[in-house]
Amino acid sequence: MRSILFFCCISFWCLNATSQQAKSFHADKKLLSAIDKNFKDAAAQYKLLTAKLPEQKFPKTYFPTKDQYEFSSSGWWCSGFYPGTLLYLYQQTKDTALYHAAEKSMHFLQKEQYNATTHDLGFMMYCSFGTANKISSSQENIDILMNSARSLATRYNAQVGCIKSWDRTNWKFPVIIDNMMNLELLFWATRQSGDSSFYKIAVSHANTTMKNHFRPDYSSYHMVNYDPQTGAVIARKTVQGYADASAWARGQAWGLYGYTVMYRETKDTTYLHEAEHIADFILNHPNYPADGIPYWDFNAPDVPHALRDASAAAIMASAWIELYRYTDRQRAKKYLSAAEKVLRTLSTDMYKAKAGENGGFILKHGVGHMPNKSEVDVPLTYGDYYFVEAMVRYKKIDSGLFVRN
């Protein structure tokens, strides 16, 4: 009898402790107020951007000094971020004009479901149609997403164990760290269809990337070139960063986010630890700025005068807000605090555009491809998308929908 009573008491204590742990992190009310204003301002900005958008085109960036836009076709890797951002903003504001603008955009995007020439179908289709399907599930959305997953799966090479990234290069089988972000579509496809082949491809890609992309300090190369016949590593490069051995900021963000998703989808603690190690590399780096907005490359030679990358910061913030749900209490507090710092900084005039400025984009000071001198110190659609996503996730903490596991 005493044993039973003791067991019941211990069980009650554990359940109570778990409940208290889940509820022990509270969203900052002042930041929540800033976020609500950000959503309102962002909705107005994206209406401005929508009005400037040519038919069947998608926004890439805007050059403030020239008052000039750069648009893309639906085949560009960023095409899904614009409708995805509109849909997130619609959820927050209930402004149907945003929803209709997203629908119109996705009408021109849907043909990419059959595009097997790109590894970016997760970005393109899951950030758009995946988000739309969460708002209102439909057979049409499901069919588009399933076809997208099938197209993505055709790029998998079992000998390498990865999905191929670029086709038009001198490299034999390049795989970039960005590709970790496209695996979420494959996990969705397995849940939807019951076909485990998508799941197995995602796990294989993540395991191979974890083995070959990361250095002992858990920083990541941008690209690994494989021999498609043997699976052997030919070279490790950092194409969009400062140097092959440097830590390109957005690349570190992709890895952080990608392995957090891997843990969510598999519950394999190997991926949780990988995400924690990447997060700690970022936060403990001597060149990580106090305001939370990383230099475009942690090893840029002109630090502390190097350009910051708001897009990398936004991706990191969104990843940290999810990662805090899964990790231990000490890390959870650290990661949530890091995300809050980023969101506060991005909400200031330094990074958030004033009404009617920045071509309708939300954030300023993104860095796309510094070595190519492409999209340098300009707004970027993916910066906006992950900033809005991070704010949506932060609000869910306050509502109790994003508590710790």
Residues marked as catalytic = 120, 178
User: CA 238 to CA 29: how far, in whole Å?
Assistant: 40
User: CA 356 to CA 335: how far, in whole Å?
Assistant: 33
In what helix (H) or strand (E) does residue 59 lie, and over which residues does it extend? strand 58-63
Instruction: Find, among 222, 325, 331, 313, the residue nearest to 276 by Cα.
Output: 331
Query: How many other CB atoms are there within 10 angstroms of residue 96's CB atom?
Result: 9
Question: Do the Cβ atoms of 358 and 380 come closer than 8 Å?
Answer: no
Instruction: Find, among 143, 64, 75, the residue nearest to 376 by Cα.
Output: 64
Tokens of 370: 């510094």
Question: Do the Cβ atoms of 175 and 160 come closer than 8 Å?
Answer: yes
- Coil, helix or strand for 137? coil
Query: Which residues, including other chains, have CB under 8 Å from residue 323's CB and lie 6 or more apart?
Result: 256, 260, 275, 276, 279, 335
- Coil, helix or strand for 339? helix
User: CA 336 to CA 21: how far, in whole Å?
Assistant: 14
